[in-house]
């Protein structure tokens, strides 16, 4: 899959592209990330990408034309590679993403992600060029770059072949609609706490049962809202009651 990111701060994306799971996926050409800066699409000597808001008030607004040209150039580049991209704008006003949305995003061939700065972008840019508006949570970042990186990380790690173990994405917290179970590694004992005995038993069925039970219990305790949306099977209800 291919991401084209429209950003004033391309250097920030080194956090994603230089090391870690995503960097390895890019090296192996399982995904592509291309960065575009609206500054390259300005025509004035100062290469102005922002301006004061009509009506007054603090902060600056990103101008329509440099953003539009950058988006169109990114879409044309993607199309030349045979990738049809939709455009998503990252903002706190967008639809809040969850793992189900990430699965949908990950299944698409390409996205142009628009990372806004300052107070946001000219509303007419959203009306004319943006297909979807996404938020990564109910808090305000100083720009869409981190949000774009969050989305790309979450989507790229779901692509076939990206994670080492075949099951590690499927077993993720949230892909089942539940929080993750606790994990342990050596040493077996730390102070007076030992690893739960079932994990040492070698009984894979019992281990799977314990893990599901823990995941259900934690989800009920910490995020009952997740269970409300998801529902609970008879088997799971019995595990919860045990």
Site residues for ligand ADE per CB under 6 A? 90-92, 135-137, 139-141, 144, 147
Q: Is 65 helix (H, G, I), strand (E, B) or coil?
A: helix
Per the annotation, does 138 bind a ligand? yes
State the nearest-atom distance from the C-beta of 225 to ligand ADE, in Å.
Answer: 19
Phi-psi region of 222 (alpha: psi -120 to 50; beta: other; left: phi over 0): alpha
Phi then psi dihedrals of residue 93, to 5 deg: -85, -5
Residue 130 contacts residue 88 (beta carbons within 8 Å): yes
CB-based contacts of 37: which residues, under 8 Å, 6+ apart? 6, 7, 8, 10, 70
Taking the complex as a whole, the smallest distance from the CB of residue 183 to ligand ADE amounts, in Å, to: 29
Q: Is position 58 annotated as part of the catalytic site?
A: no
Residue nearest to ligand ADE (CB): 147
- The least distance separating ligand ADE from the CB of residue 53, rounded to whole angstroms, comes to 17
How far from 103 is each of 38, 129, 228, CA to CA, in Å? 29, 23, 20
Rounded least distance, CB 125 to ligand ADE, Å: 15
Catalytic, 92? Answer yes
Please indicate if the annotation marks 105 as binding a ligand.
Answer: no
- The catalytic residue among 77, 103, 119, 132 is 119
Looking at the Cβ atoms of 7 and 135, the one nearer to ligand ADE is: 135
119 is catalytic: yes
Report d(CA 242, CA 135) in Å as an integer: 38
Select which of 53, 92, 132, 180 is catalytic.
92
Whichever of 88 and 239 has its CB closer to ligand ADE, that residue is 88
Is 89 marked as a binding-site residue? no
Determine the 3-state secondary structure of 68 from DSSP.
helix
40 included as an active-site residue: no
Phi, psi of 237 (to 5 degrees): -60, -40
The catalytically annotated residue of 77, 133, 153, 172 is 172
Rounded CA-CA distance 165/154 in Å is: 16
Annotated binding site for S-adenosyl-L-methionine: 116, 136-141
Which residues participate in catalysis according to the annotation? 92, 119, 157, 172
Residue ranges at the known binding site: 116, 136-141
């Amino acid at each position: 899959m291919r991401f084209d990111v429209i950003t004033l701060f391309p250097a920030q994306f080194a956090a994603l592209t230089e090391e870690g799971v995503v960097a390895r996926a890019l090296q192996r050409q399982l995904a592509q990330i291309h960065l575009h800066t609206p500054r390259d699409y300005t025509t004035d000597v100062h290469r102005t990408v922002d301006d004061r808001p009509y009506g007054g008030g603090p902060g600056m607004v990103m101008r329509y034309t440099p953003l539009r040209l950058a988006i169109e150039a990114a879409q044309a580049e993607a199309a030349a590679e045979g990738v049809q991209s939709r455009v998503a704008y990252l903002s706190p006003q967008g639809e809040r993403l969850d793992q189900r949305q990430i699965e949908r995003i990950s299944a698409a061939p390409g996205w142009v992600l628009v990372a806004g700065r300052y107070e946001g972008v000219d509303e007419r840019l959203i009306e004319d060029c943006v297909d979807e508006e996404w938020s990564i949570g109910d808090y305000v970042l100083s720009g869409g770059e981190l949000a774009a990186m969050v989305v790309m990380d979450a989507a790229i790690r779901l692509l076939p072949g990206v994670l080492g173990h075949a099951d590690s994405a499927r077993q993720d917290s949230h892909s089942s609609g539940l929080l993750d179970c606790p994990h342990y590694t050596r040493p077996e004992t730390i102070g007076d706490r030992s690893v739960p005995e079932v994990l040492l038993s070698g009984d894979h069925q019992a281990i799977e049962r314990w893990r599901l039970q823990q995941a259900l219990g934690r989800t009920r305790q910490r995020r009952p809202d997740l269970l409300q949306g998801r529902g609970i099977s008879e088997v799971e209800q019995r595990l919860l009651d045990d």
